[in-house]
Amino acid sequence: MRPLIWMLVASLALLGAAHSATSDAAKRHYDRASGLFRQGDFDGAIEALKKSIEIDPRSAESYHLLGLAYFQGEKKPVEAAEALQRALTLKPDSAEVLNDLADVYLSQGKSAEAERALTRAISVAPRDEEAYLDLAKLYEARHDRAAAIRTYEALLDFRQDHRDAVFSLASLYDNQGDSLRAQALLRKLVKTHPRHADGWYLLGRIAEKANDLAEASYAYRQAIAAKPDLVDAHYNLGFIYRSQGRLADAAKEFQEVIRLRPEYAEAHMNLGVVYTSLNKLDEAERAYETAVALKPDFVEAHYNLGVFYELHRKDAAKALAQYRKYRELGGKDDRVERIVGQGGR
Predicted confidence (pLDDT) at residue 13 exceeds the cutoff of 50:
no
Look up residue 46 and give its amino acid: I
Among candidate residues 247, 246, 177, 241, the one with its CA nearest the CA of residue 206: 177
Predicted confidence (pLDDT) at residue 1 exceeds the cutoff of 70:
no
Work out the mean pLDDT of the chain and round it to a whole number.
Answer: 92
Look up residue 248 and give its amino acid: A
What do you get for the CA distance between the two ends of the chain, in Å? Answer: 126
Angle between helices 95-107 and 111-124 (to 10 degrees): 170
Class of domain 26-90: mainly alpha
pLDDT at 16: 46
pLDDT tens readout for residues 166-206: 999 999 999 999 999 999 999 999 999 999 999 999 999 99
pLDDT tens readout for residues 118-162: 999 999 999 999 999 999 999 999 999 999 999 999 999 999 999
Where do the structural domains in the chain lie, given as residue ranges?
Answer: 26-90, 93-159, 308-345
- How many CB atoms sit inside 10 A of residue 227's CB? 16
Q: Residue length, the chain?
A: 345
Class of domain 93-159: mainly alpha
pLDDT tens readout for residues 222-265: 999 999 999 999 999 999 999 999 999 999 999 999 999 999 99
Predicted confidence (pLDDT) at residue 26 exceeds the cutoff of 90:
no
Q: Give how far Cα 293 sits from Cα of 73, 95, 190, 228, 269, Å.
A: 43, 54, 40, 27, 11
215 band by pLDDT with thresholds 50, 70 and 90: very high
pTM score, whole prediction = 0.83
Tell me if domain 26-90 and domain 93-159 are identical in fold: yes
